[in-house]
Amino acid sequence: MTRPTSGGNRWADHYTRKAKQDGYAARSVYKLEEIQARHRILRPGDRVLDLGCAPGSWLVFAARIVGPQGRVVGLDLKPVTIALPAQVCTLVADLRNSESVGEEIGADGFDVVLSDMAPSTTGNRTTDAARSFDLAMSALEVARTRLRSGGGFVCKIFQGPDAKLFEAAVRRLFPETRLFKPQSSRKASREIFVIGKGKRQEE
Ligand SMILES: C[S@@+](CC[C@H](N)C(=O)[O-])C[C@H]1O[C@@H](n2cnc3c(N)ncnc32)[C@H](O)[C@@H]1O
């Protein structure tokens, strides 16, 4: 994929237009598409949990890869209003209320946990990075308890000193851990994806 070279708005317009043409609800789908092309995190038949799933472009992309034998469960503070394939279901919940969320997600394990969760931003880098860190750690806790051993994890976090702590925490659970900045992620954006593969069996 070639990166549009001009300023921020031209970039945003390019991916927004492309998402419309391709029938996706958000341009963020191209980040997951790049992650999938590079890291092969999703496979046919997988059970996938998508945290921070609204408006729903990752749900649709993941459903295409896992196919009718797979299952995708999405969770967000906001409802998803687009039409979804039969193998997708969604929940409206705040991931930070971990007890109620645990019941809603169900007891079944997942093969992959994705998180594109983003906090509402204040413009203050330190505050925004701290909020992003909290969300990422909540997603990692879900991966720790709900992901089968050997499973995969993808999680967005804003870069900063906390992101290093987060990466180290992911590395403790996943022997193969990588950082990935998709080309379709705005250069000026501080977001980065931490990708973990082959979850360790916990004692
Ligand atoms: C960038 S959007 C996700 C876009 C999505 N991946 C897609 O492709 O359509 C980030 C989402 O994270 C959700 N979010 C933020 N904090 C959350 C929380 N505590 N629990 C659940 N969802 C949360 C927001 O409501 C927002 O919809």
Tokens at residue 136, please? 């990422």
Question: What residues pair up with 90 in beta bridges, in sequence order?
Answer: 74
pTM, entire model: 0.93
Most informative mutation of 22, 59, 76 for ligand 1 (most atoms within 8 A of CB): 76
How far away, in angstroms, is 203 Cα from ligand 1 center? Answer: 32
**What is the span of the domain harbouring residue 29?**
8-197
Q: What is the CATH number of the domain that holds 159?
A: 3.40.50.150
What would the mean pLDDT of 150-171 be, rounded to a whole number? Answer: 96
The pLDDT value recorded for residue 77 is 97
81 closest CA partner among 54, 107, 105: 54
Task: Read off the pLDDT band of 6 (50, 70, 90).
Answer: very low
Number of domains within the chain: 1
The pLDDT value recorded for residue 137 is 97
Q: Tell me which amino acid residue 151 is.
A: G
Residue 3 lies in a domain: no
Residue 75 lies in a domain: yes
The pLDDT value recorded for residue 160 is 86
The pLDDT value recorded for residue 76 is 97
Alpha-helical regions (H) of the chain: 8-22, 29-39, 57-66, 98-105, 125-146, 161-173
